[in-house]
Structure 1
């Protein structure tokens, strides 16, 4: 940065006057070489409003126009002379984003999809949760929280309350499957132990906050208490109520329940219980799939 100013006389010190604002600082020096005006400015950023930018440039134009032609003008631009602190901040910011980009690239190359999405979430920042009042089946806006919950219950119960009519021709095509006697047998500790061993590590815990790694490491201690709960659910024919999370499909009105996708959130223990039931069902999945395909062709 260079300035054009006269040398001060040793016998006579320079006289000066100043005028300052938030982003504009003006100094007028009377030297032996003549008057010198220094203007130090810090321009408005790109994110500033139009009114703020206009106000800054109006003040700058007024300050420059008031300077006489015979005076020397020196403009000090802040952006051309960043401070050491700002340079350190800029360098640290660049290093952070470079390291984060390398981490995302490494996780993508190594196949760590979960780690890749976690780092992308870090880069994107927190997601804002947007809510909107729901509408009833008749189009009325529901504001009350309790009535909104009842609307969600009605929405998700409707698909299971419909009575489907199946033609006689389709029923005649259905093959009689073998009776899966294994489904009637009570769950054993061996089946529960295998279900716990099949849990994938590193998964997000459920609503109870218990991660799968904890259940896997403490299997010896938790096996019998979990089996007692599973056996009780088996005898009563009911399981603890699960939690349904509604996810917006990013299209359509937010007040319409049909524009949401419901996800059933099971706890890790609930997933273990579900796997105990799922294993014997999968043994006959091939035969069941062929029957379902024939049933669809007849509909």
Structure 2
């Protein structure tokens, strides 16, 4: 929300001063994003009157007084930017609306306003004058109560492209993928035969790059799956748009009325295509609902709405009275929780560890990972999930072939012997599998 505080020139001020003020006000409002809320406050020294029929949407049905020259200027700017006067939206007594008394006539007038966008008028509960407030001025204090929720600005980041791993269901595609990986991985030669002398960072960088290049070349990226009326009827829409564009080039000097008539038929047909698409989707959803096919029903509805915005799950505070929604606060709360669990165990107490579960012994724990162990770990990866920032899904590892498994075994053996992992694995979760 952008709050603007103003003090406008009086009615008897020079015209140049008024023009400068309202031009500056217009420029300030234009520079505000149309997505932001606006609260325009202040003493405008203008009477907007109560003619809500002419200034519909700008003045409410409960205005007071008559309009003057300054009020006409202010009304014009508010109408241009779709702003409305909250003072005139509530049915109150005149003594609860007016804010200034004329020194000669002793009549009360409305000169101070709280102005918001027309779409945000539902956020204003009431706007009224406080008669008993002492403000050391001849104006009454104006109070407006808002009940609004300001959403944080979403980060506009392009979504990461996803590999089309569905092609790996084809045996021929798997064969091409394995041959491509074998060709790329065969060029990765170690500088030494000892696993303790290998450069972990360089080895993983070259291995990850080979996987990414092979996946892009063989699989490619998936296209948008959400249904869209324009994309599904692009074969019919493109000729219409091309014809309208060529007609516009052929008649550049047409009048506004002729331009409107030439584009009316194209717009009408586009609306018909859009309406037909929505009608067919509605019939499809209704058919799924009648047949109790709830999976297809919710899948179709979710596809029309598109992907939902993911938000962090709230966590209760230590006292249980507050919900923590910030990511950093959630991490700190989880750290505090686990620290409490660890503090319950007293290492000096020999009976404190009796309540902890006993784990079976791991035979031959110091041996390097074998090819079969790496194969079992790769097969346990989840499909359509990427384990790191390289965006390589589990299917690429599963169907990469024996040459990829051998390279992974050599790499993991080097990590095992040196006791380090690549820096890009800083968010990795190390899972220990215990065997009986």
TM class by smaller structure = 0.3 to 0.5
Higher strand share: 1
Kindly name which structure, 1 or 2, has the bigger radius of gyration based on alpha carbons.
1
* TM-score, normalization by structure 1: 0.37
